[in-house]
Amino acid sequence: MYVFKLVKSYQKEFVLVVLASIVSLICNLGFAYISKELINAAVGKTNFNIWVIVVAIIIISVTKPFGTYLVNKSSYNFAKSFMIDYRKSIIDSFVLNEGEMLSSDFLNTVNQTTTKLKDMFVMPFLKNIRYAILFIGASIYLFYINKIIFLIIVVCSVLPLIIPQIFNKKNQKLRMDSIGENEQFIAKSKEITDGFETIKSFGIEDKIINLFEKLNKTNQKKLFLANKFNVFHMAFSIFISMLGIVSALVTATYLSSKGLVTAGEIGAIIQLSNYIVDPVTTIPANIISIKSVELEMKRIDKMIAKKNTNSKEHEKFKLDNQISIKNLSFKYGDNEVLKGISLDLEKGKKYAIVGESGSGKSTLANILLRRLDYENGSVKFDDTELKRIDEDDFYSNISLVSQNVFLFNDTLKNNVCLYNDYSQSDFERSIEKSKLNSVIEDLEEKENTVLGEYGTSLSGGEKQRVSISRALIKNSSFVIMDEATSSLDIKTARAIENTLLSLNQTVLVITHRIDESILKKYDKIFLLEDGRITQSGDYSDISYFNEVLS
C-alpha cells in the first residue's frame, strides 16, 4: 500500500531510478557476456576477434561506473524529495493541530523518525527496484545459457523470500516498541535539559543520572531486539545463496566435462550467479525493513491527514464595531470551566478580565485565539461567528502578548518582523510605540543584534516589548495579553500595560494582579469567578477589589 503511494507521489523520480537501473543492468550483463567471450577466446572457442573483445571491455569498464553514478544520483534525488515533502507535511500538521503532539515527540518525528523512514523504507524500496531489475535480467541471460543451472539457483533463492512473510508481525511489533521507547527517551532527555535548574537546586543529580542510565539501557535493548531478526535473516540468506552458487558451479563443471558448457559460459555463470544471489540476499532483508516501519509510517500519515479545516467559503476578518460573546460555555470533559459567559468588547477600547487561578480566564482567551473550539454559545466579530472567519485572515489581524514570549536565535529586527518583509518605517514606528527603541539603543549591534537562544540577552519586560512590537508592526486589530506581566516586577508590569493602554487597537488583558493605578485606566473590567462573569464596570464598580485589598 505505502509502496504504491510512494511511487504515485514521486512518479518522475521513480521513472529515473528505473531507467538508471536498466542502464546499470545493461552494463552488468554486457560485462558478463564479454567476460564469457574473452575466456572462450583464450581457449580458442570464440567467433570474435580478440581486439574487438578488448575494445568492448574498455567501453563497458568506462560505462559501468557511469551507470552506477546514475543509479545513486537518481536514488538520492528520490530520497531528497521524500524528506523535504514529508518533513514539511509533519511541520504543517504540528502547526495546524497545535497541542496535539508533545514538542519532544515532534522533534523525534521530524528528525530521527523521518531519517529512519528514509533509511528503512525509501532507500530499501529503491534498492529492491534496482535489484529486481538486475535479478530479472540476469535470470533471463542465465536461462539462455543453461536451464538446469538456472533452476538450481532459483530454487535456492525461494526460501529467503518466504521468511519475511512468516515473521512480519513479530518484527513490526519489535520495531514499534523500539520507536516508542526512543520517543520516551527523547522526552525524558528534554525534561532533563528543561529542568536543569530544579535538578541542581534540589541536589537530585545522582537520581536523574541513574534514571537516565536505566532509560538508555532499555532504549538500546529495544533497538537490539528490533535489529536482531534482520541480522539472523541476512546470515541465513547468505548461507542458502552460497549453497546455490556452489551447487550451480559443481553442476556447471560436470556439464563442462561433458562438453555441454564452455569455459567462457562457466565464467558468465559465476558473474550471473552473483547478480542473482545479491538480490536474493538483499531483497528479503529490505522487505523486512520496509514492513517493520509501516506501522510508524501509518501513524505519521494519520497525523498528517489532519488537514487544516479552513475553507474558501469562510468570511474575511472584520472588526468595525465590536466583539460579542453570548452565553458561552465550555467543558474539559465533565468539568464545566465557562458557564454562560456574555460580554461585549467595543472596537478601540481597553478591557481587563480579572480573576483568580482556575476561574476560566485563560480558557476564554484560548477560545478567542481559536486554540479551543466551542459548541455552546456564540463568539462574533461584528456579525461573523468566530468559527466562520477565514483562519489565515483571522491570525493576520490578531496578536497575543503572552507570559512566555518565544524569541528566535536571530536579530532583534527579525524577531519583531518575524521574517516578513516590512518596511523600515513600519519597523521604526512599531519599536517607538512599544518603547523598544530605548532597549535597542543599549544593544551593541542595535536592531541587528543577535539575541541568542530563547532571547537570553533580554529581560522579561524587554521580551514583552518585542511581543508588543510584533502586534504593532502587523497592525493587529485585536490584541490579547494573557497573564503576560504576572512574573514581572510591579514597575515593569505597569510600564508594559501603560504601553498597551496607549494603543489604538482593541485590547483585552487577562490578569489576576490587582493594581488600582492601572485597572482604573481600563474602559471596562470583567470579574470572572468560577466560570461566570459576576461583576463588570469600571474600577469603582467592582466591589471585589475593596474586599481583596481591605
Tell me the three state secondary structure of residue 508.
strand
C-alpha cell at 494: 505597569
pLDDT at residue 96, rounded to an integer: 57
- Produce one character per residue of 229-268: b if its CB has 16 or more CB atoms within 10 Å, e if not: bbeebbeebeebbeebbeebbebbeebeeeeebbebbbbb
Give the pLDDT confidence of 478-529 residue by residue, as tens digits. 888 877 666 666 777 777 777 778 778 888 888 877 777 788 888 888 888 8
**Average of per-residue pLDDT across 334-343:** 84
Please check the confidence at residue 78 and state whether its pLDDT lies above 70.
Answer: yes
**68-82, 102-116, 203-217, 331-345: least confident range:** 102-116
Closest Cα partner for 218 from 184, 260, 269, 169?
184
Percent of the chain with pLDDT over 70: 73
Higher pLDDT, 121 or 325: 325
pLDDT at residue 308, rounded to an integer: 46
Please check the confidence at residue 223 and state whether its pLDDT lies above 60.
Answer: yes
**Average of per-residue pLDDT across 322-347:** 85
pLDDT at residue 163, rounded to an integer: 59
* Residue 358, Ramachandran bin (φ over 0: left; ψ between -120 and 50: alpha; else beta): left
Alpha-carbon span 547 to 550, nearest angstrom: 5
Please check the confidence at residue 311 and state whether its pLDDT lies above 50.
Answer: no
Give the pLDDT confidence of 91-135 residue by residue, as tens digits. 666 655 554 555 555 555 666 666 767 777 778 888 888 888 888
Give the pLDDT confidence of 415-468 residue by residue, as tens digits. 888 777 888 888 887 887 777 777 788 777 787 888 766 556 677 777 877 877
Which architecture, in CATH terms, is 322-549?
A: 3-Layer(aba) Sandwich (3.40)
Residues paired with residue 336 on neighbouring β-strands, in sequence order = 331
Please check the confidence at residue 48 and state whether its pLDDT lies above 70.
Answer: no
pLDDT at residue 457, rounded to an integer: 67
**Average of per-residue pLDDT across 226-254:** 71
pLDDT at residue 230, rounded to an integer: 64
Residue 307's φ and ψ, nearest 5 degrees, are -75, 160
pLDDT at residue 405, rounded to an integer: 74
pLDDT at residue 309, rounded to an integer: 47
Percent of the chain with pLDDT over 90: 0
CATH number for 2-304 (one of 3.30.1370.160, 3.30.2130.10, 1.10.150.120, 1.20.1560.10): it is: 1.20.1560.10
pLDDT at residue 305, rounded to an integer: 61
pLDDT at residue 174, rounded to an integer: 65
pLDDT at residue 49, rounded to an integer: 66
Check: CB of residue 384 under 8 Å from CB of residue 322.
no
Locate CATH 3.40.50.300 in the chain.
322-549
pLDDT at residue 167, rounded to an integer: 57
Give the pLDDT confidence of 261-282 residue by residue, as tens digits. 777 777 788 778 778 877 877 7
CB neighbour list of residue 521: distance below 8 Å, 6 or more residues apart? 350, 498, 501
C-alpha cell at 43: 581457449
Check: CB of residue 336 under 8 Å from CB of residue 329.
yes
Tell me the three state secondary structure of residue 358.
coil
Alpha-carbon span 480 to 327, nearest angstrom: 21
pLDDT at residue 265, rounded to an integer: 77
Please check the confidence at residue 360 and state whether its pLDDT lies above 70.
Answer: yes
Check: CB of residue 264 under 8 Å from CB of residue 35.
yes
Locate CATH 1.20.1560.10 in the chain.
2-304
| Summary mean pLDDT of the chain | 75
**pLDDT confidence bin for 410, thresholds 50/70/90:** confident
Please check the confidence at residue 8 and state whether its pLDDT lies above 60.
Answer: yes
Alpha-carbon span 29 to 275, nearest angstrom: 9
Please indicate, yes or no, whether the overall pTM of this predicted structure exceeds 0.75. no
Residue 192's φ and ψ, nearest 5 degrees, are -65, -45
Give just the sign of the alpha carbon dihedral 448, 450, 454, 456: negative
**71-80, 246-255, 272-281, 308-317: least confident range:** 308-317
- Produce one character per residue of 298-334: b if its CB has 16 or more CB atoms within 10 Å, e if not: eebeebbeeeeeeeeebeebebeeebbbeebebeeee
**Average of per-residue pLDDT across 353-374:** 82
Please check the confidence at residue 215 and state whether its pLDDT lies above 50.
Answer: yes
pLDDT at residue 310, rounded to an integer: 46
**Average of per-residue pLDDT across 161-178:** 62
pLDDT at residue 388, rounded to an integer: 84
